[in-house]
A and B are shown apart, each in its own frame.
Chain A
Amino acid sequence: MTTLIEAPPSDADGLLPTKKKASGGGLGQYILIRFLLIFPTIFILVTLVFFLMRITGDPITAALGGRLPPEQLAERIHAAGYDRPIFVQYFEYLGQLITGNFGTTLSDNRQVSEMLTTYGSATLELSINALIVALVVGIPLGMIAAHRRDKAADAVLRLFAILCYATPVFFAGLLLKLTFSVWLGWLPVAGRAKTSTELALTALQAPTGIYWLDALRSGNMAALGDVFAHAVLPAVALGLLTAGIFLRLVRTNVIGTLGKDYVEAGRSRGVSEFRLVTKHAYKPALIPIITVMGLQIAVMLGGAVLTETTFEWKGLGFQLATYLTARDFVAVQGIVVLLAVIVAVTNFIVDIVAALIDPRVRY
């Protein structure tokens, strides 16, 4: 444990380029250290979540308190082992986590791990769709804003970026629903697919749970269209949130690189302005985008919780909201821990990718 903490403090987002002494060691060592740093992060989060959730009392009282007579409540608490010392429970919980056992939900008596795999794919699908929207919208607009710096187009685009950030995903979702589903009637109101499509897709051999992938594999074009129609609004609502951030980031960084000598040199050689922005200035501006994308995964997961609730998209976030209302804190804890693992692992991957692209990132 001490050796892990001894490691240099991780600058996970890589946005604060701290000058570290070159302590030798190459990419391999960097990856190893960065990999080992995942564990304290997850460990700390699990510990914090466990103790915080227990300060208020045991999960059974939280879920069923007031609905059961005290004797029965005490009996169930005893049966579940919640009357033992907190540290015994803590170490038991850690042991269970290592073996992949997240416990059993209280409200509907399911294995948390099974629930996580069922609904995780829906959240993954939503996040991928949203990320595509964010990249397709954010990067080109950011380049335009940088190119037209301080002109009218730049002002409009920056305002657009601020609006993207300022609009909560559930309000964006509500507006999109009102406009495209209720008034225009073009797109379905909620859900991931029609019931008939859902049945057809789950009947597949070894479904991935990612609907458009399943629909593609089965070659069922009607199902693919249906899945696509359902996916548009949630993806746009969640994607715009991140698109604004990408737009600003691309703008700032391209403006920074556009002033560099080599861009000037390119211009003097007669390279077109379009090519200067999209190739010369854009490439070096890519690294901050990749690192911020890692941070955005966390933002996106938070946004996914709200988006899924808005569109009744049956993923982890929707389940989280449901279990929160049911005061089922075992399930909540399971989902929170899983999300912590996802965030830690994506940050690790992003750091490695950034290091592969730019050797200066490594220490």
Chain B
Amino acid sequence: MSIEPTIAAESRRDPWFRRLPVISHFNKSVGLQRGMLVTGLVLTGLFLLTAIFAPLIAPFGFSQISDADGNFPAQQAPGGKHLLGTTVGGYDVFSRVVWGAQTAVLVIIVAVIMSIFIGVILGLVSGYIGGWLDRILVVIADAVYAFPSLLVAIVMAIVISGGRSSLWGGILAAAISITVVFIPQYFRVIRAETIRLKAEPFVESAKVVGASNIRIMSRHIYKNATRTLPLIFTLNASEAILTLAGLGFLGFGIEPTSAAEWGFDLNKALADTTSGIWWTGVFPGLAIVLTVVGLTLVGESINDLNDPRLRGRKKAAAGKAGPGSAGAKAAPSAEVSSS
């Protein structure tokens, strides 16, 4: 209800850069919440920097098993030339962990962009037009949503690549598999918002003025319905990493010669554990955990800061005068995302 005027009011007050998602959240945060947000941003930044500068950071290539001095020793303990040791196959663990960040970023970018694009369009159309199209889409989305996401991804990976492929083939296959898992989530959120917004006075007035359906959907509803997207984006990015790792762990990832993938390395490391070789598994695993923690902290903080009931108390008392209606509206989406 009060969403439209609030945006207008805020935009008059603050310069544009203070209204960017993460920066505005940072300014709103306080105490512990600010700590969580900053920790998350640092971890995420580290992850992105590692991915971008992987060729500079990694001492060796991801599939390199020898250099000028001859073949790398197999299963060497961390230290010396190989900072984090080597695997059974003679790969350098540190290099593969660094290169793995690049693979993960590529998959996330492709997957999340595709699912936002398709999910938002389907959600807008389904919610706005309604009728039988809406019902069919909802039943399909519910069916896919209720199903274990890893299994959906496995089925898709079989369909797309028969399970194995090159760097870009593998990245696309993993990304599309993850996309299929996420489309229902974007679809549900956007559709619910669209249905709510469709009844708002500003949509009706746009109709009266004579705006076309496409214009109403693409301007009036779209702008308002996508407010929660930064939040879903960060939460899904972390889930995308976990799904990619799960696929890789089951052997549906990317071949070790075409790219480095953390889940695949963990699978190979499983056999090492019984003989006490810990470095092949612990480091790629830690990379996954730190990345997901970073993204989740950012997402969680944004979620809490969007919800006046969960925002730090000092600010909630001083900032918004009437959290009543806005809080009640924000609550369902917050609960969905936390599940």
Binding site for B on A (CB under 8 A): 5-6, 9-10, 12-13, 15-17, 40-41, 44-45, 48-49, 52-53, 55-56, 62, 150, 155, 162-163, 165-168, 170-171, 174-175, 177-178, 181-183, 189, 245, 248-249, 252, 255-256, 288, 292, 295, 298-299, 301-303, 305-306, 309-310, 320-321, 324-325, 327, 329, 332, 336, 339-340, 343-344, 347
Contacts and interface: CB of A to CB of B under 8 A. Distances in A.
B292 interface: yes
B163 A324 contact: yes
B162 A62 contact: yes
A163 B292 CA distance: 9
B155 interface: yes
A16 B339 contact: no
A288 B335 CA distance: 9
B269 interface: yes
Given A13-B339, A324-B252, A177 B273 contact: yes
B148 A302 contact: yes
Contact of B338 (A150, A171, A252): A252
Given A303-B150, A305-B151, 16 more contacts: A5-B135, A12-B145, A49-B155, A165-B296, A166-B296, A167-B285, A168-B245, A168-B246, A174-B270, A174-B273, A298-B149, A299-B148, A320-B154, A332-B158, A339-B151, A343-B148
B176 to A, nearest CB: 12
Interface in B129-171: 132, 135-136, 138-140, 142-151, 154-156, 158-159, 162-163
B151 A41 contact: no
Contacts of B338: 245, 248-249, 252
Chain B interface helix/strand/loop/mixed: helix
B336 interface: yes
**Which 6 residue pairs of A and B lie closest in terms of their CB atoms, listed nearest first?**
A302-B148, A171-B285, A166-B292, A302-B150, A9-B138, A44-B143
B293 interface: yes
Nearest to A170: B249
Given A168-B263, A170-B266, A171-B266, A10 B151 contact: no
A270 B103 CA distance: 58
Nearest to B246: A306
Contact of A16 (B31, B143, B149, B336): B336
27 contacts: A5-B136, A9-B138, A15-B332, A16-B192, A53-B155, A53-B158, A170-B246, A170-B266, A171-B285, A171-B288, A171-B289, A174-B269, A175-B285, A177-B273, A177-B274, A245-B339, A252-B335, A255-B310, A298-B149, A305-B250, A306-B249, A309-B249, A310-B270, A324-B158, A340-B147, A343-B146, A343-B147
Given A44-B143, A56-B158, A166 B238 contact: yes
Given A170-B266, A183-B276, A344-B146, A175 B282 contact: yes
Nearest to A41: B143
Contacts of B315: none
Contacts of A347: 146
Contacts of B300: 162
A40 B289 CA distance: 38
Given A53-B158, A53-B159, A155-B32, A174 B285 contact: yes
Given A9-B142, A41-B146, A150 B266 contact: no
Contacts of A320: 154
B225 to A, nearest CB: 15
Interface string B279-307: 00110010011001100110010000000
Contacts of B339: 13, 15, 245, 249, 292, 295
B251 interface: yes
A12 B146 contact: yes
Interface residues of B, number: 64
B28 interface: no
Chain A interface, >50% SS class: helix
Candidate in A12, A15, A62, A303 with the most chain B CB atoms within 10 angstroms:
A15
Contacts of B154: 320, 324, 332, 336
Contacts of A49: 155
B279 to A, nearest CB: 11
B309 interface: yes
A252 B269 CA distance: 38
A16 B146 contact: no
A163 B309 contact: no
A306 B282 contact: no
Nearest to B195: A18
Contacts of B144: 45, 48
A305 B336 CA distance: 24
Contacts of B288: 166-168, 171
Contacts of B78: none
B108 to A, nearest CB: 15
A303 B249 CA distance: 12
A174 B32 CA distance: 32
B296 A56 contact: no
A162 B292 CA distance: 9
A329 B155 CA distance: 10
B335 A15 contact: yes
Contact of A44 (B139, B148, B312): B139
Contacts of B267: 170
A52 B146 contact: no
Contacts of A305: 148, 150-151, 250
B335 A325 contact: no
B231 to A, nearest CB: 15
A183 to B, nearest CB: 7
Contact of A306 (B149, B150, B163): B150
A9 B135 contact: yes
Interface string B224-263: 0000000000000010001001100111100000000001
A78 to B, nearest CB: 22
Most buried by A among B250, B269, B281: B250
Given A252-B335, A343-B148, A52 B159 contact: yes
A45 B184 CA distance: 14
